[in-house]
Amino acid sequence: MKTFEPALDALVGREITAVRRVGKMPVVEFGDLALLIHLMSAGRLRLFDKRASLKDRASRVLLRLEDGRELRLREFGTKQRAWAKLLSTDAVGEDEAVARLGPEAWPAPPLEEFAVLIDQPRHLHPLLRHQGDIAGIGRSWVDEILWEARLSPFKKGSELDGEEVARLHAALHVLGDAIEHYEEAIGEQLPDKVPMPLQVHKREGEPCPRCGTAIEAVFFSEHQTNYCPKEQTGGRVLKDRRLSRLLK
């Protein structure tokens, strides 16, 4: 918990009135109080049928429901990065994690607005993931969007012509498709390992589902990017920036 006032037990006896999303963050509303959650990369928010065992070291926040079920924020791995804040529902929009967000990537903003957002001299991969410019796109989905749009992760936003901007804008439907996929495939029971409907992310060496060319990987600081060299980089295999730095 990143907040202590009001205390978490202010939720005792309240009803969950809404669950929504802002950028990459889920928000669980309890009338005029709301829990703003950042899952980071290893967190999961999941409803369990039974109470957690005290041995469940992955639990970060537990909310017991009247019917015996339990809503748990859990995080895998040793790093404790996921967080939650209990705020007044009216104040969620003013929280620093929310106020700094750009427009939502899904549903996609109008094309003209999107064109202005990405007209920046920065590589598309970090640009699309920068929540302050456009909110809701993470590491996996940026690869999928760029593959769908047939654009290089190292092309700059300001270098795109009108047709490329339109292609990138149209490719944002990948996010809507993913939500639909999860709603159908998973329903209410979220497993520990969620099968993601990915075509290229972390699929290096596998054939591109569209053209059959082997998917390539490039490491960009600690992040991995995957792409189809034939369709996205004009046949060029991008230099591994992590490796080239080590070799210097």
Residues that bind Zn ion (CB under 5 A): 208, 210-211, 213, 228, 231
Nearer to Zn ion, 173 or 210 (CB): 210
> Shortest Cβ distance from residue 126 to Zn ion (Å)?
23
Task: Name the residue number minimizing CB distance to Zn ion.
Answer: 208
Nearer to Zn ion, 36 or 215 (CB): 215
> Shortest Cβ distance from residue 7 to Zn ion (Å)?
53
The answer to whether 88 and 5 are in contact (CB under 8 A) is: no
> Shortest Cβ distance from residue 226 to Zn ion (Å)?
11
> Shortest Cβ distance from residue 57 to Zn ion (Å)?
42
Nearer to Zn ion, 131 or 232 (CB): 232
Nearer to Zn ion, 16 or 214 (CB): 214
> Shortest Cβ distance from residue 186 to Zn ion (Å)?
28
Nearer to Zn ion, 43 or 229 (CB): 229
